[in-house]
Amino acid sequence: MKLFMIVHDNIVKKSMQYESQNWNKVWEPFLQSLKEICSDPRKELTLKAYQNLCHILFSECGCNLNRTNLKKCFDTILLSLVNVENIEKQQLIYLRLSSISLISKMLLLHLSKLIQLSDFTCLWLKTIQLFYILIGKNPNKLIESSQEIIKNMILVCSKEGIFQPPIQNQQEINLIIWNKTWPILDPFFPKFKRRIISN
C-alpha cells in the first residue's frame, strides 16, 4: 500500500495536464487495482485500499474529471465496488455501507456534470437499484444508516430540481426519474414520498 501511495503522488504531479487521456491510461487502471484489493480477505489491506480509492476520487484529479470519464468511473469502479463477496461478513457489511456513502457523495459532488449525460436516467436508476439490493443484504442494525444516506441524496436532488413531483411542462427526464424511482424506494421509505411532495 505504501508503494501504491508513492505511485499515486507521482501520478498526481504529472497527470493533470492531460486529464482525459490519463483517465484511460493511468487513473482507471490504477483505481481498478485498488478496487480489486478491496476484495482481499485481509481486513487491513482492504481498508487501506478503500481509503486510497477515496483519497484519489476526492483529490484534485478526481474532482476535475469530465462528465464522460465520470460516467466511466461510476460504471467501472464505483457501481462494481459493491459486488465483492469473498471477504468475511463484518468486513463485507462495512465495505457495502461505505460504498453506498461513497457513491452518494460522488453523485452529489458531480451532479451538475452528470445531469448533462444523455443517459443520466440510466445511471440514476442503476444507482438506486443497487442501493435497494444492498439494503436488502444488510443486517437490520445497518439498514437505518444506509437509508439516511439515500434520503440525503434524494433530498439534495429534490432541492436541485432533478427529483420533483410531476408538474405541468416538466422536462421528460425529471418525469421519468420520478416515476421509475418510487417503485424501488417505496418498500423502504413508505412515508418519504409524502415528505418530498410537501416540500
pLDDT above 70: residue 59: yes
Structure confidence at residue 173 as a pLDDT band (50, 70, 90) = confident
> In the chain, pLDDT over 70 holds for what percent of residues?
82
- pLDDT at 105 exceeding the cut of 90: yes
Q: Which residues contact 129 (CB under 8 A, 6 or more apart)?
A: 184
The DSSP code sequence of 128-159 is HHHHHHHHHHS-HHHHHHHHHHHHHHHHHHHH
Task: Record the cell numbers describing residue 130, joined without a space.
Answer: 443497487
Domain residue spans of the chain: 2-149
Q: Which residues contact 52 (CB under 8 A, 6 or more apart)?
A: 1, 4, 5, 8, 34
* Whole-Å CA distances, 120 to 117, 124, 173, 181: 5, 6, 9, 13
| pTM greater than 0.75 (yes/no) | yes
The CA–CA distances, whole Å, from 81 to 26, 37, 38, 125 equal 19, 10, 8, 17
Q: What is the DSSP letter of 168?
A: T
Give the residue-averaged pLDDT of 120-126: 92
